[in-house]
Structure 1
Amino acid sequence: MLAGKQLKSRVSEGKKVTAEATESFHAISSDISMMASVIQQISDATREQEIGVRQISLAMSNIDKATQKSQNAVSSSSESSSDLVLQSEKLEKTAENIGILIKGEK
């Protein structure tokens, strides 16, 4: 009879341990699922940040190109202004010379 009680006790204890282990495995499984979800969210956010960084880089490149074009236009405009001033001075001198020739003055 004692052996039967011990056997029942051990079986009962085994069932209890098995139930606790099963519960622990379910909790671990749930935690793993939650971690996988968080990792996926981090991965998605990282991908979004990468896209944002690429867009910022492209925008900065476009700004740089526009700045260079603007600089070139300013430089060209400055050169044109200088040329115009020189031509204006030459025209003024030519007009003076024509006036002198017409009036016969020297």
Structure 2
Amino acid sequence: MSTIESMINNKTNQNAPIKHTHTAEDITGAEIYGKSAYDVYKDFTVSQGNGPLSEEDWLKSLKGERGPPGKDGKNGKDGVDGIPGKDGLPGMNDKSAYKIYAENVWRNPND
């Protein structure tokens, strides 16, 4: 039995949090594609003869208590180092990139 069938058969209490493990199924006989999760919840709750929670209260009901910290994961395998590349060509002693920029782009307005 799916979660939705279980909810329908058990006449879920409107104040009980709904587990959201279902897929986009047609809960109430109405098309649900394009609806927000809150709209689907409201349709389901009304179909059960209950008044829905406000959106704010519904959102609060979705968050459970904080669980215990998880266990640390296993260390991954060390990757293989790549081989060193070839050395580049020797550079020239000349102007720095900033010096070239300053001579060609930046102009002192007082000059």
Instruction: Tell me which interval the TM-score lies in, with the shorter structure as reference length.
Output: under 0.3
Given the two structures, how large is their TM-score scaled by the length of structure 1?
Answer: 0.16
Structure number with the higher helix fraction is 1
Given the two structures, how large is their TM-score scaled by the length of structure 2?
Answer: 0.15
Higher relative contact order (CA 8 A, sep 6+): 2
Q: Which structure has the greater CA radius of gyration?
A: 1
